[in-house]
Amino acid sequence: DQQVKQNSPSLSVQEGRISILNCDYTNSMFDYFLWYKKYPAEGPTFLISISSIKDKNEDGRFTVFLNKSAKHLSLHIVPSQPGDSAVYFCAAHGDQGGSEKLVFGKGMKLTVNP
Amino acid sequence: NAGVTQTPKFQVLKTGQSMTLQCAQDMNHEYMSWYRQDPGMGLRLIHYSVGAGITDQGEVPNGYNVSRSTTEDFPLRLLSAAPSQTSVYFCASSPLAGGTAGELFFGEGSRLTVL
């Protein structure tokens, strides 16, 4: 049973426009949600996170929104740049079975066209 | 500024062979983990450790062994490789205290092919 879902495998946007990446989760016990960015042949790198007690966190061009009632979060990138082209993983952190776990979604490939 | 270092970066094995993927971190992180990435499957946790001498199973532990004799090193052992273990493996670490919850520092990955 997939606890963190990224239902769209890919997204293509024009440079300068907004990119919106979506993520849904099923476990209401998650306390932090994170986005990771991954370039080919590299390891994932942490991008931005949000606590479950907040509904928005902003860091430069990147903003994450959390809707707890809908168990949904989204990552907004404004304006999008070609260097943002990568695979983005949504992840959720929480205590599961007495130990802290980080659960990842399947990832979404973002392509920003010049 | 090495961070998390994984070796080897590429490896080809025959079914039934054994090997060890090495992982070392120089950030004095207590938490270390191994993930595998497969197409359409995201990142799945294999094993993790919250400190030297302590290891535990993740989501997909079968076929893999780990040990944590030092804070710096967390090797992943494949005792008898199977084609289903063809994947990209990532080692990751984090401080248990003082860092952002869930923030992991990843190595560059090790691509393993089992024929």
Q: pLDDT tens digits, residue range B18-61?
A: 999 999 999 999 999 999 999 888 899 999 999 999 999 998 99
Q: Do B108 and A105 touch (CB under 8 A)?
A: no
CB contact under 8 A, A43 and B109: yes
Closest to B91 (Cα-Cα) out of A104, A93, A102, A43:
A43
Closest CA to B109 of B17, B5, B13, B30: B5
For chain A, list residues whose CB is within 8 angstroms of any CB belonging to chain B: 4, 6, 9, 31-32, 34, 36, 41-46, 49, 89, 91-93, 99-102, 104-107
pLDDT value at position B96? 74
Predicted local distance difference test score (pLDDT) of residue A100? 73
In contact, A102 and A79? CB cutoff 8 Å:
no
Chain-centre distance for alpha carbon A66: 10
C-alpha of B66 from chain center: 9
Residue A32 predicted with pLDDT over 70: yes
